[in-house]
Amino acid sequence: MLIRDVETFVLKVRGPAAYLGALPDGTELTADAGYRVREPWRSLYSASFETLLVRVEAEDGTAGWGEALAPVGPEIPAEIVDRLLGPQLIGSDAAAPRPAWARLRALMRERGHLVGHQADALAALDIALWDLAGRISGLSVARLLGGAHRDRVPAYVSGLPRPDDAGRAELARAWQEKGARTVKLHLGYGVDTDLATVDAVRAAAPDLDVAVDAHWRYGPAQAARLGRELADRGVVFLEAPLAPEDVDAHRRLADRIELPIAIGETLRTRYEFAQWLAAGAIGLAQPDVGRTGITEATAIAELCAAHHVPLAPHHSVALGPALAAGLHVSAATEDSPFFEYQPTTVETAAALGFAFDVGPDGFGLDERPGLGLDVDEDRIRATATRHHACAR
């Protein structure tokens, strides 16, 4: 059976709150604000949940759905699918995601376009191809990958979106009462300020494990001091402490602190992860399947296993297929201690019709064919701000 159509859908959806909540000064992000930098972090953020969905249809009408992690500018990977990748898929075997991945990856690889938006666009198609293959075969993606090690994927709650420590402590206490086991704090406000937040949260919710995301904000000396203090407090990992391109600085930091350094959301290929793993610069791998795709994520998982590094997939604002894909990869990976749970993202996904079996302690794995997602196509089409099809 062959592929006869590829469609892209750009979505920009208002959630119950902006991703990661209000700005540090308490200002709420509004839909007309455009893209903003959330100081002291450096990246652009949107007040809406922005994403790229793709639909790949076989000759018999069976369709698979994929998604790229595209928190800002989802039109960019959409254009890559529409102009470069999608047309090359038409007429391909609908049940063969790995050969399609290899062929699509090669299209712009020799020109230096293996990562960035090109990789994000390819990830969306790859997820759709695995979903399609599963729906055609009647098997779940986890089953296609060789089987699941667990039918429930443990999770950590990502973020306590309040502008002060009192509010964060209150939220931590509430999550502890709901059964959460681990919470990750989005910090990077200065070493002393970050430590005060950790102390406030641990005092309010002593049964919660705590992790810290530093959002790439520190230099080597500051990161070493923060890491030592966090290790003394029993923090489970330190994410993104230094400049995201600097492998050697992370290696040196790993040698100085007894705390796993979590890296991965900026990386998209097995070759990038291989460099970090060989250097000993990463203690917890966090690929985002909305940026790697399923095919590459499984290769990354095997590389990590060979280096005794656990896999804990990253997840932020992708709304449905990318989240489901990450859960199937996590379930099919032997050493995968937890998955990132973004409550407002999951609520926003539910409003679009993407339902997940999720609680503060983890996600249930849906073992229906493909990704196990019910897709409300009418709602997706009505919500999309941009739609394109490249039928045969």
Positive or negative CA dihedral for 384, 31, 356, 139? positive
> Catalytic pick from 186, 215, 314, 315?
314
Say if residues 183 and 361 touch (Cβ distance below 8 Å): no
Say if residues 356 and 322 touch (Cβ distance below 8 Å): no
d(CA 85, CA 314): 25
d(CA 207, CA 180): 9
Say if residues 195 and 229 touch (Cβ distance below 8 Å): yes
Is 388 marked active-site? Answer: no
Residue type, 83: R
Of 186, 182, 202, nearest to 194 by C-alpha is 186
DSSP string, 12-76: EE--SS-TT-S-TTSPPP-GGG-SEE-TTS-SEE-SSEEEEEEEEEETTS-EEEEEE--SS-THH
For residue 215, give the DSSP letter.
Answer: T
E strands within 159-224? 182-186, 209-213
d(CA 211, CA 314): 13
Residue type, 383: T
Residues labelled catalytic: 314
